[in-house]
A and B are shown apart, each in its own frame.
Chain A
Amino acid sequence: MDWNELLDRHGPSLLLYARQWTTCHADAEEAVQNGFVRVWRSHGADAPVPLLFAAVKRAAQDLQRAGARRAAREAKAAEAMYEPDSIFARNGHDPDRARLLEEALRQLPEEQREVVILKLWGELTFKQIAESLEIPPNTAASRYRYALDMLRRSLANEPRV
């Protein structure tokens, strides 16, 4: 497998994953670039997928730390008109419902949200999630269950199209 195939397969979910720690789409792309390149150089085609997610998370957190001061300044300046850019493609989905789902996902605690993203879009098993996050598999599974419960509750009263 060459890097294009690996990126085709995991690029969008890596981007979604990185988006949790970055303030904009461009920073998330940079995090994916940094993490992906680092893992590909060290492991090549044998790169384990959990490691790929872990490397992108580290790169995103590095960017977050580096840009925290700048981001805070910009966010304050643009507070009035700030609307976070969507982390999902809008095609083929009811835009209002998609916005609700995305907002509900954003409201999750970080440790639950990252498990949901790794499970649903990264298509990792709980064992792989546990490897990536360096937590026990049971913890990964329980975080996922808590997250789904929370999402169900927050979306229960919202209209479904």
Chain B
Amino acid sequence: MNHEFDPIEQELKSLRPRDLSERARARIRHELAPAPPSRWPWWLALGAAASVIVLLLSLSGAARRTVPSPSVKTDAPPPSVIVARQYDGVVWLEHEGPYRRVRYHVARANATGPRAEVIVLQKASLD
């Protein structure tokens, strides 16, 4: 079969397919348009992102440091006025303040060092 001279092929080929509309071309142009250049150089954007991350990390660390552990009370009495007493096998620390006398129930007390660590579970006013 000679493709060059087949009349049916020639006649079909003389039909011209429709062109793409301008609207379709515009959509393709839009899809293939290069991304607009960033207003910041990449290294500046990277630095800014790193700074934000460091700031967030430091803030979360500070938050962790300022929140007391639920088992540790920071209002333990000064060691100089503490009097330790034992009632029914339970160790209590008693502290007489300017207005009231306060008794602390001590779960664990490390009194061997210069700065005794006192973990107070319960505080009871003796007024």
Residues of A within 8 A of B (CB): 3, 7, 11-13, 15-16, 25, 29-30, 32-33, 36-37, 40-41, 86-89, 91-93, 98, 101-102, 105, 116, 120-121, 145, 148, 151-152, 155
Q: Which residues of A contact B12 (CB under 8 A)?
A: 101, 105, 116, 120, 151
Interchain CB contact under 8 A, B17 and A148: no
**4 shortest interchain CB distances as A-B pairs:** A12-B17, A16-B17, A29-B24, A88-B15
Interchain CB contact under 8 A, B14 and A148: no
CA distance in complex: A88, B15 (Å): 6
Q: Which residues of B contact A86 (CB under 8 A)?
A: 18
Interchain CB contact under 8 A, A88 and B28: no
Interchain CB contact under 8 A, B8 and A88: no
The bracket for how many chain B residues form the interface is 20 to 34
Q: How many A-B residue pairs lie within 8 Å, measured between CB atoms?
A: 75
Residues of B within 8 A of A (CB): 1, 6, 8-9, 11-21, 23-25, 27-28, 31-32
Interchain CB contact under 8 A, A16 and B18: yes
Out of A7, A116, A148, which one reaches B20, CB within 8 Å? A7
Q: Which residues of B contact A7 (CB under 8 A)?
A: 20, 25, 28
A101-B18 contact given A33-B28, A37-B28, A145-B1, CB 8 Å threshold: no
Main secondary structure of the interface of A (DSSP, over half): helix
CA distance in complex: A152, B6 (Å): 10
CA distance in complex: A89, B21 (Å): 12
CA distance in complex: A13, B17 (Å): 6
A37 to chain B, nearest CB (A): 5
A55 to chain B, nearest CB (A): 13
A48 to chain B, nearest CB (A): 18
- 5 examples of A-B residue contacts, CB within 8 angstroms: A11-B19, A11-B20, A29-B21, A93-B14, A105-B12
Interchain CB contact under 8 A, B17 and A15: yes
Interchain CB contact under 8 A, B21 and A3: no
CA distance in complex: A98, B15 (Å): 7
B21 to chain A, nearest CB (A): 6
Interchain CB contact under 8 A, B14 and A87: no
Q: Which residues of A contact B19 (CB under 8 A)?
A: 11-12, 15, 89
A25-B31 contact given A105-B12, A120-B9, A152-B8, CB 8 Å threshold: no
B6 to chain A, nearest CB (A): 7
Nearest B residue to A152 by beta-carbon distance? B8
Nearest A residue to B27 by beta-carbon distance? A33
B1 to chain A, nearest CB (A): 7
CA distance in complex: A22, B12 (Å): 21
A33-B15 contact given A120-B9, A148-B8, CB 8 Å threshold: no
User: Given A29-B23, A101-B11, A148-B1, 10 more contacts at CB 8 Å?
Assistant: A7-B20, A11-B19, A12-B19, A13-B17, A16-B17, A29-B24, A36-B28, A87-B17, A93-B14, A120-B9
